[in-house]
């Protein structure tokens, strides 16, 4: 009888311990499932997915929730697909290059700052993956900074063309060029942008732009809302110091919308 009671007592203790362990495991599992569900819900927000189209660090973040394939897919889109699309837009369309550059750089910088704030708000230092998350974001930010510097220095700026030795593809008056731009900007850019042309017109003003340097403003078409500006490199600014409003000049330069870049005064 005593042995039977001892066995029954041990059985009850083991059963109680098993029940407690089961409840503890169940609670832990429920908590983990709840946390994972919240994480997935946050990652699936449309705003986060839109951000992922521009930022590689979001792809790295998705990997932290176990979604490695999606993470690598977004990294691929961010660092290979989007730059390829941007390159095609710059080289094969008449879109404003300066606008594309400004939007791309501003978006990348703002998005990474937003991600840093997002991780700071949602992260926990007790999370074993916290350090990994921050290291990946930091790596992505560093890669972005290097990419922006390299592309800005070697792709967007490109080599400077010596317009004084180049043969202009078109010869137009400033009023003709201004009229064509105002009539159909898209067609104008497709035909003239990044081409070297010679423009003859009456100087209406002369000045210095803070970011672009010295320029001459040539007479536009009647009713045009803006002048036709010709910008000169620093080493050529001496060529225009003696030019006065009302003087007729011929300028050779590279077309960028209603502007001429890297200009050179053609001597009569």
**Exposed / middle / buried, residue 51 (Cβ in 10 Å: 0-12, 13-18, 19+):** buried
Reported as a single tens digit per residue, the pLDDT across 113-145 is: 665 566 556 554 444 454 555 565 566 666 666
Per-residue confidence band for 152, with pLDDT thresholds at 50, 70 and 90: low
On whether residue 38 sits in a domain, the answer given is no
Q: Do 89 and 129 belong together in one domain?
A: yes
What average pLDDT score do residues 44-71 get? 50
pLDDT score for 258: 82
Q: Do 65 and 152 belong together in one domain?
A: yes
Per-residue confidence band for 221, with pLDDT thresholds at 50, 70 and 90: confident
51 and 58 in contact (C-beta within 8 Å)? Answer: yes
pLDDT score for 199: 93
On whether residue 140 sits in a domain, the answer given is yes
More confident residue, 187 or 162: 187
Q: Do 124 and 177 belong together in one domain?
A: no
Q: Do 79 and 118 belong together in one domain?
A: yes
Q: Do 178 and 92 belong together in one domain?
A: no
On whether residue 29 sits in a domain, the answer given is no
- Using the 3D structure, point to which of 156, 190, 220 is the last residue of a domain: 156
Nearest residue to 60 (alpha-carbon basis) of 150, 143, 155: 143
Reported as a single tens digit per residue, the pLDDT across 67-99 is: 566 656 666 666 677 667 766 666 655 455 555
- Domain at 222, CATH number: 2.40.50.140
Q: Do 149 and 48 belong together in one domain?
A: yes
Reported as a single tens digit per residue, the pLDDT across 4-36 is: 444 455 555 555 555 555 445 444 433 443 333
pLDDT exceeding 70 applies to what percent of the chain?
39
Q: d(Cα 220, Cα 217) in Å, to the nearest integer?
A: 9
More confident residue, 49 or 252: 252
Q: Do 140 and 227 belong together in one domain?
A: no
On whether residue 3 sits in a domain, the answer given is no
- Using the 3D structure, point to which of 97, 124, 156 is the last residue of a domain: 156
255 and 192 in contact (C-beta within 8 Å)? Answer: yes
Strands 213-218 and 259-265: unpaired
Select, from the ranges 62-71, 98-107, 152-161, 162-171, the one with the highest average predicted confidence (pLDDT).
Answer: 162-171
Is the pTM higher than 0.85? The answer reads no
Q: Do 138 and 208 belong together in one domain?
A: no
Q: Do 132 and 217 belong together in one domain?
A: no
On whether residue 6 sits in a domain, the answer given is no
Supply the range of the domain harboring residue 178.
170-265
The domain tally of the chain equals 2
Q: Do 179 and 228 belong together in one domain?
A: yes
Q: Do 258 and 175 belong together in one domain?
A: yes
167 and 251 in contact (C-beta within 8 Å)? Answer: no
- Least confident segment among 31-35, 113-117, 154-158, 231-235: 31-35
Q: Do 182 and 97 belong together in one domain?
A: no
**Mean pLDDT, rounded, of the chain:** 67
- Least confident segment among 41-55, 102-116, 162-176: 41-55
- Using the 3D structure, point to which of 129, 156, 183 is the last residue of a domain: 156
Question: SS in 3 state form for the chain?
Answer: CHHHHHHHHHHHHHHHHHHHHHHHHHHHHHHHHHHHHHHHHHHCCHHHHHHHCCCHHHHHHHHHCCCHHHHHHHHHHHHHHHHHHHHHHHHHCCCCHHHHHHHHHHHHHHHHHHHHHHHHHHCCCCCCCHHHHHHHHHHHHHHHHHHHHHHHHHHHCCCCCCCCCCCCCEEEEHHHHHHHHHHCHHHHHHHHCCCEEEEEEEEEEEEEECCCEEEEEECCCCCCCCCEEEECCHHHHHHHCCCCCCCEEEEEEEEECCEEEEEEECCC
- Least confident segment among 57-61, 187-191, 250-254: 57-61
On whether residue 12 sits in a domain, the answer given is no
On whether residue 125 sits in a domain, the answer given is yes
Per-residue confidence band for 240, with pLDDT thresholds at 50, 70 and 90: confident
On whether residue 98 sits in a domain, the answer given is yes
Please check the confidence at residue 109 and state whether its pLDDT lies above 60: yes
CA distances from 30 to 19, 36, 59, 64, 196 (A): 16, 10, 27, 19, 69
pLDDT exceeding 90 applies to what percent of the chain?
9
Instruction: List Cβ neighbours of 100 (8 Å cut-off, separation of 6 or more).
Output: 86, 89, 90
């Amino acid at each position: 009888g005593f042995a039977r009671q001892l066995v029954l007592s041990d059985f009850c203790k083991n059963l109680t311990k098993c029940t407690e362990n089961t409840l503890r495991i169940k609670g832990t599992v429920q908590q983990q499932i709840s946390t994972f569900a919240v994480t997935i819900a946050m990652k699936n927000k449309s705003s986060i997915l839109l951000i992922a189209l521009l930022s590689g660090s979001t792809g790295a973040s998705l990997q932290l929730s176990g979604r490695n394939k999606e993470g690598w897919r977004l990294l691929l889109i961010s660092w290979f697909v989007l730059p390829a699309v941007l390159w095609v837009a710059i080289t094969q369309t008449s879109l404003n290059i300066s606008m594309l550059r400004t939007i791309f750089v501003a978006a990348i910088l703002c998005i990474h700052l937003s991600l840093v704030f997002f991780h700071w708000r949602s992260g926990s230092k007790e999370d074993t993956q916290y350090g990994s998350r921050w290291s990946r974001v930091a790596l992505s930010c560093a890669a972005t900074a290097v990419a922006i510097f390299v592309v800005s220095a070697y792709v967007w700026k490109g080599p400077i063309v010596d317009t004084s030795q180049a043969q202009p593809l078109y010869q137009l008056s400033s009023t003709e060029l201004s009229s064509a731009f105002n009539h159909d900007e898209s067609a104008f850019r497709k035909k003239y942008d990044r081409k070297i042309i010679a423009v003859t017109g009456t100087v209406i003003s002369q000045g210095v732009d803070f970011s672009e340097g010295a320029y001459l403003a040539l007479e536009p078409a009647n009713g045009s809302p803006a002048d036709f500006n010709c910008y000169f490199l620093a080493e050529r600014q001496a060529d225009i110091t003696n030019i006065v409003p009302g003087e007729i000049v011929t300028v050779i330069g590279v077309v960028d919308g209603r502007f001429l870049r890297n200009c050179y005064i053609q001597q009569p």
